[in-house]
Amino acid sequence: MNHIRTDAVGSLTQSCDAALEGSGSAPSEVEAALRIAGSLWRFWHIRGHLRTGAAAVRRALSLPGAAAPTPFRARALYAAGALAVFDMEGQRRAREYFEQALAIFRASGDDFGAARSLTGLGAVASARREFAEGAARLEEAQALYRKLGDSRGLAVTLNNLGAAAWNQGDLARAGERIGEALDLARSAGDLGNVAQLGVALSMIRSRSGDAVGAAAPLREALATLGSLGARHSSAAGALLASGELATLERRFEDAARWFGAADTVLERLGLVFDEADVWWKRRDAALAEAREALGAAACDAHREAGRRMDVEAALRAARGS
């Protein structure tokens, strides 16, 4: 996928808005609006336009005539869940969207849509530490993906099962599952998941004390995110992982810089995370190590330098550090 210019982001979003605003209650117009909303969610996610995308999908779902349980409504509901799932405040709404989408997909015999919705529900349950429910949903999704021969879907479910093991403190099992998922994502050419999975595997290995093992998947993730022009939560995670690896290698100036850059990405996205979540729970302790090693003033100066960096420049610099 080629880099998407910032002006193209605005153009696509404006085109979507215009289509939604021009939609009436005629079935063809409602269908078109739902189709647009259900198709653009990944673009909005990659470019960090979570709020813009979520608002557009909600507008489509609320159009007169959009309540009929059609495949187009189901895809828009899935999109709404996918855009809401990235922060703790949105996960309750995401669960509702995924449940509604699942019911429509099942009624219409759409196994792929059902598998995706089950994967979303499994991810939400695991993030909320409802591990038994999460595992049940993900195993059901896996069975459907295996039936369909969908390696990308299998990678996503393995990733979420690995995340659940990670949340329960089983780093070995988490690394095994996420490593399998990364291999599948590579073979499927799924760059978005290659980046996300590489970040997760790097963090797991850093926290296991394996700096050499953490470096390779992180470099791959940083390069992939840079090529995608990614500005979403995985970009923040990659910078966070860069900070953790730098801390492990006692490169404390770099660590403070990448933590600052990660903070800026999160603030621009407007995401709210539970500090107990595994992706974020190591950050404060690592930053404290940098502060102790550098002194408060120097640490704050390097962190502020990171905060001022553009996300794409920060990803390039972290890759070269």
- pLDDT of the chain along its 321 residues, tens only? 233 333 444 555 555 555 555 555 567 788 888 998 888 888 887 776 778 888 889 999 998 889 999 999 999 999 999 888 766 667 888 999 999 999 999 999 999 999 999 999 998 998 788 988 999 999 999 999 999 999 889 998 999 899 889 988 899 999 999 999 999 999 988 888 899 999 999 999 999 999 999 999 999 999 999 888 766 778 889 999 999 999 999 999 999 999 999 999 888 877 666 666 788 888 899 999 999 999 999 999 999 999 999 888 999 999 987
Torsion, Cα 53 54 60 63, to 10 degrees, reads -140
- In whole angstroms, how far apart are CA 18 and each of 11, 12, 83, 179, 306? 10, 10, 20, 42, 37
The ranges assigned to domains in the chain are 14-89, 110-189, 190-321
pLDDT at 21: 59
- The whole-angstrom separation of Cα 32 and Cα 5 is 25
Average pLDDT, the chain: 87
pLDDT at 2: 32
Q: How does DSSP classify residue 25? A: S
The pLDDT > 70 percentage for the chain reads 88
Picking from 41, 44, 46, 76, the residue whose alpha carbon sits closest to that of residue 61 is: 76
pLDDT at 7: 42
pLDDT at 9: 45
* 110: Cβ contacts below 8 Å, ≥ 6 apart: 71, 74
* Cβ pair 90, 125 in contact under 8 A: no
Site of tokens 């970040």:
199
pLDDT in tens, 141-196: 999 999 999 988 999 899 989 988 998 889 999 999 999 999 999 998 888 889 99
* Helices then strands, each counted (H, E), the chain: 17, 0
pLDDT at 64: 86
Q: Can you identify the CATH homologous superfamily of domain 110-189?
A: Tetratricopeptide repeat domain (1.25.40.10)
Picking from 236, 235, 243, 276, the residue whose alpha carbon sits closest to that of residue 259 is: 243
pLDDT in tens, 39-68: 888 888 777 677 888 888 999 999 888 999
